[in-house]
Structure formats: C-alpha cells, structure tokens
C-alpha cells in the first residue's frame, strides 16, 4: 500500500479516522497527514539501500511541520535544509545538527554562521564564491567544517522544466570540468574539509536512468580526484525519487536501490540521500469542501473552499493530483487513482477555488461522481510541496494541518486567523 488513506464502508479514512470527522473538528480547507505513511516510506528507503547504510536526510522543504520533523528525527533521520529557517525548524524539532546537510545557491553570512554554530554535518556548496565565504567564516571561528561540492552532471531528468536542476543551463552546482578546478584549488584547506560530492538532478524523477548516468559521471570524477590525492569520502545523490500521484506511477525504493547499489559497491563512499517527496507526498491529503456548483457553457464548475494559495502545484507545474469525494456510493469506491477512472455514472467537472485568477483550478475536466454542495473532496498526494508552498494570497488565512496516528489525530498547525494576516503589519 502506498499510503494509509483508504475507503472503508464508502467513506475515506486516514488510518483509523474518518476524514469527515477531522474536517468537522478542524474545518476546511485542511491538510491531513498520516504518520504511518511517513514512517513506511522512510523505512522502505532505508531498507532498500541498507547495504550502503546511507544517512537519509529528509528534505525539509517538502513538508516541514515541526511535528513531522520530530517524528522523522525519532526514526533516526537526518535533514536536508536550504535556509536558516529550515535549520531552525529542525533544531526546534529536536533534530540532531550532526545529521543536517545544508544546500542552496544563496546562503547568507548569518545563515552560514548559524549553521556553523549549530555544528551541522556538511555544507553543500554551490559555487567558488560560496566556498570562499564559508572558508573565510570557518577560519574566523577557527572551526573546521565539512563540505561537499554540488556537481551539475548535465543529465536530463526528464521532469518539469521548473524542477529540473541537473542540466548545464540551471543555476545549481558547478559542471564537472569546473569541479576538477575547484577541488584542485580548494581541496586542501585547513578550515574547510571539501571531501564530498553532492548531486541533485531534479524532482520528481520517475526512472532510475538519470541517477545512473549522473552517478557514473561523478564516480569517474571521484576516481580521478583520488588519483591526485584528494580524498573524497562522501557521495550525496540528493532527492527527487518519485511518488505515486497516480497508482503505480513511481518506481519503488527498491528499484532505485537496485540500479544504484551495484555502482556504489566497493567505492568506499559514505552515501547520503535527500528524499523529500518520496517520503512526504503520499503521506498527505488536502481536504476541501464544495461550496457551489455552477454551469458555464458546457462546463460544470465545482467551486470549493480550497484554492491555489493552499495548493499551488496544479497551476504552477500543471501537476496532476487525484481528487475524489470522501463519501461515495458503492459504485464509486476507488482503489486505482488514475487520470480517467472507468466507473459508471461519472461526470466531468472543473474543480476551482475562490481566488480571483483563472488559474485557480485544482482539477480540470475531471471525471467525478456526481457532486453536491457540502461534499468533502480529498486531493491526494498533497503532502509534499503542499502546505509549505501555501500563501495568504487574497488574504486567505493558511489552512490547518492535522497529523493522524492510528486512531488518534492532532491539529499540528492551527488554522491562521484574520489577526495572523495583519500581525506583522501593525506595531
Ligand atoms: N535535495 C535538494 C538539494 C533539493 O533541491 C530538493 C528539492 C530535494 C533534495 C528534495 O527533492 P524531492 O525528493 O522532494 O523531490 N516544488 C516542486 C519541487 C521542488 C523541488 C526542489 N528541490 C514541486 O512541487 O514539485
């Protein structure tokens, strides 16, 4: 099972709790997470790569509520952060700084110092200028910090152009040719131990081939560097592993591992992984209530209380999120989340939010069971890049977040209030 959201007696449950019961208490729109799903995906990855005993650094940006970070820290997870704010979250959640890796092309001085003070495991460095900055700050503190150079291997991850990072024309990392020069110049510094290579080629990547290509390229580089006396100890292959937006879409963790482990065997490299979506995406749903039905020409619009400020992926990336009512007739209990369900009596709808933009659409031309005002709709695979990318656009307070664990649930972020909307604008 890819997640713990399932229909029982024609009603959607999050683990052992009816989704409607949560919506009644927490109101809508609301993000609902399943603790068991988070744990399961973390463990699957850990088991798949067990031979390499990787350090799994969960990517905080995908879903960073402190309750979720705490749960993952308890499983032994490390964390991939990209800002001082994310590092703060991890530390607040009790995550160990010694298992934090820090990426990002624009780390500020104060963020770098904050990470040094915390004692993070590794800076994932994106440019020579950043290397100079980190080296100088480390020397100033008489501290030796570990760093990895983010290498851009120039492979095509075949994903959306906005989330493709490992090709030459993106802003991330340095190309392999330049990496040689960077190691030659900065590979033997007193306060900066540049002993790792970092990759992150894009997200989501629903095949193993781009990883294989990228890893082969950097293994050649590592061998070359080692011949020149530069010790490379760590290989971080980043994140980007797929999630099931439709049933069976993403390769299982085992498949990535089977493709990569043979390349890594005997290389004497500490392996780091930075999964975000593959752990968090299927662990969350976004639940919204239908307000009105409206006929527009041939179309039926289902106007709901959730909008692009809550979940921006459909408009930003043309992302497909499976969406289905939480209470259905026996004919419409669904197990296969696909683009065009083959069930009797479905009708086409555009599911749209209240925001004043044409793009404010959660689902277009979607075949759904007949809907009526008051129905709850669940948007699946919304755990990653859902709440974290939400905004207050149109002065809409952000949604609540709820964490379900077995037969219990807890509001782990209260719904924002109107007061929250202006809290930073008044003295
Ligand atoms: N490591 C680094 C350095 C990253 O930049 C990212 C994601 C990850 C790990 C985790 O990738 P994941 O395993 O979650 O795919 N907002 C977009 C995705 C942006 C990904 C940014 N970097 C979306 O909603 O699809």
**Structural domain includes residue 232:** yes
Give the pLDDT of residue 359. Answer: 94
Residues 390, 58, 124, 223, CA torsion sign:
negative
Same-domain check for residues 326 and 247 = no
**Structural domain includes residue 296:** yes
What is the C-alpha separation between 123 and 142, in angstroms, rounded?
16
Q: Return the closest-CA partner of residue 402 out of 383, 377, 379, 374.
A: 383
Q: What would the mean pLDDT of 225-230 be, rounded to a whole number?
A: 95
- Under 8 Å CB-to-CB from 360, ≥6 apart: which residues? 307, 308, 315, 352, 353, 354
The radius of gyration of the chain's CA atoms, rounded to the nearest angstrom, is 23
pLDDT band of residue 169 (cuts 50, 70, 90) is low
Same-domain check for residues 365 and 322 = yes
- Residue percentage of the chain with pLDDT more than 90: 94
For ligand 1, mutation pick of 68, 83, 239, 316 (most atoms within 8 Å of CB)? 239
Same-domain check for residues 207 and 336 = no
What is the average pLDDT score of the chain?
96
Ligand 1 center to 63 CA (angstroms): 11
pLDDT in tens, 10-46: 999 999 999 999 999 999 999 999 999 999 999 999 9
pLDDT band of residue 427 (cuts 50, 70, 90) is confident
What residue's CA is closest to ligand 1, atom 6?
Answer: 239
What is the C-alpha separation between 250 and 171, in angstroms, rounded?
27
Question: For the domain that residue 330 is a member of, what is the CATH number?
Answer: 2.40.37.10
Q: Is the pLDDT of residue 231 over 70?
A: yes
Higher pLDDT, 158 or 209: 209
Give the pLDDT of residue 172. Answer: 85
**Structural domain includes residue 220:** yes
Q: Which of 280, 303, 318 is the last residue of a domain?
A: 280
Q: Which of 245, 280, 315 is the last residue of a domain?
A: 280
pLDDT in tens, 408-419: 999 999 999 999
pTM: 0.97
First to last CA, the chain: 50
For ligand 1, mutation pick of 203, 236, 256 (most atoms within 8 Å of CB)? 203
Same-domain check for residues 224 and 133 = yes
Q: Which of 246, 280, 314 is the last residue of a domain?
A: 280
Q: Is the pLDDT of residue 89 over 90?
A: yes
**Structural domain includes residue 65:** yes
Q: Which helix (H) or strand (E) holds 66?
A: helix 66-74
- Return the active site residues: 356
Question: For the domain that residue 200 is a member of, what is the CATH number?
Answer: 3.20.20.10
Give the pLDDT of residue 187. Answer: 86
Q: What would the mean pLDDT of 296-302 be, rounded to a whole number?
A: 96
Same-domain check for residues 202 and 94 = yes
pLDDT in tens, 377-406: 999 999 999 999 999 999 999 999 999 999
Q: Is the pLDDT of residue 374 over 90?
A: yes
Give the pLDDT of residue 5. Answer: 98
Same-domain check for residues 157 and 179 = yes
pLDDT band of residue 166 (cuts 50, 70, 90) is low
Same-domain check for residues 346 and 406 = yes
Give the pLDDT of residue 158. Answer: 76
**Structural domain includes residue 427:** no
Ligand 1 center to 252 CA (angstroms): 18
Write the DSSP string, 274-309. Answer: --SHHHHGGGEEEEEEEEEEEEETTEEEEEES--TT
Same-domain check for residues 225 and 205 = yes
Q: Is the pLDDT of residue 184 over 90?
A: yes
Does residue 401's CB lie within 6 angstroms of at least one atom of ligand 1?
Answer: no
Same-domain check for residues 64 and 82 = yes
Residues 360, 362, 364, 365, CA torsion sign:
negative
Ligand 1 center to 102 CA (angstroms): 13
**Structural domain includes residue 360:** yes
Q: Where in the sequence is the domain holding 358, given as residue range(s)?
A: 5-33+282-422
**Structural domain includes residue 166:** yes
Same-domain check for residues 343 and 287 = yes
Pseudo-torsion of CA 282, 52, 234, 172, nearest 10°?
Answer: -30
Same-domain check for residues 25 and 72 = no
Ligand 1 center to 271 CA (angstroms): 18
* Residue 230: half-sphere exposure toward Cβ, Cα within 13 Å: 26
pLDDT in tens, 111-163: 999 999 999 999 999 999 999 999 999 999 999 999 999 999 999 877 777 77
Query: Domains in the chain: how many in total?
Result: 2
Same-domain check for residues 253 and 386 = no
Q: What would the mean pLDDT of 174-198 be, rounded to a whole number?
A: 94
């Amino acid at each position: 099972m890819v997640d713990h959201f399932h229909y029982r007696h024609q009603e959607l449950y999050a683990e052992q709790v009816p989704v409607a019961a949560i919506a009644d208490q927490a109101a809508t729109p609301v993000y609902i997470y399943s603790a068991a799903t988070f744990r399961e995906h973390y463990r699957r990855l850990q088991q798949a790569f067990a031979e390499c005993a990787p350090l799994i650094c969960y990517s905080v940006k995908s879903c960073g509520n402190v309750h979720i970070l705490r749960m993952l820290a308890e499983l032994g997870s490390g964390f991939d952060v990209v800002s001082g704010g994310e590092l703060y979250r991890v530390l607040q959640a009790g995550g160990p700084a010694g298992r934090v890796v820090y990426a990002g092309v624009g780390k500020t001085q104060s963020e770098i110092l904050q990470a040094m003070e915390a004692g993070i495991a590794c800076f994932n460095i994106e440019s020579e200028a950043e290397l100079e900055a980190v080296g100088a700050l480390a020397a100033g503190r008489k501290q030796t910090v570990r760093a990895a150079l983010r290498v851009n291997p120039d492979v095509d991850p075949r994903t959306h152009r906005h989330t493709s990072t490992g090709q030459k024309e993106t802003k991330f990392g340095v190309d392999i040719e330049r990496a040689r020069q960077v190691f030659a110049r900065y590979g033997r510094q007193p306060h900066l131990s540049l002993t790792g290579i970092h990759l992150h080629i894009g997200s989501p990547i629903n095949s193993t081939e781009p990883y294989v290509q990228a890893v082969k390229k950097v293994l050649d580089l590592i061998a070359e560097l080692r011949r020149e006396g530069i010790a490379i100890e760590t290989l971080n292959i980043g994140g980007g592993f797929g999630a099931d937006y439709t049933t069976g879409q993403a390769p299982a963790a085992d498949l990535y591992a089977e493709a990569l482990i043979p390349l890594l065997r005997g290389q004497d490299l500490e392996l780091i992984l930075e999964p975000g979506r593959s752990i968090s995406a299927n662990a969350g749903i976004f639940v919204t209530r239908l307000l009105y039905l409206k006929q527009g020409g041939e179309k039926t619009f289902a106007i709901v209380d959730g909008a692009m400020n809550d979940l921006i992926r459909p408009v930003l990336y043309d992302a497909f999120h499976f969406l289905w009512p939480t209470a259905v007739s026996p004919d419409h209990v669904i197990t296969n989340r696909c683009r065009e369900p083959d069930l009797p009596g479905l009708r086409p709808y555009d599911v749209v939010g209240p925001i004043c933009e044409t793009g404010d659409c959660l689902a277009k031309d979607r075949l759904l069971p007949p809907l009526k005002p008051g129905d709850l709709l669940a948007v699946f695979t919304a755990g990653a890049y859902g709440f974290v990318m939400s905004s207050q656009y149109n002065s809409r307070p952000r949604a609540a977040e709820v964490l379900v664990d077995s037969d219990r649930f807890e509001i782990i972020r209260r719904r924002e209030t109107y007061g929250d909307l202006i809290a930073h604008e008044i003295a």
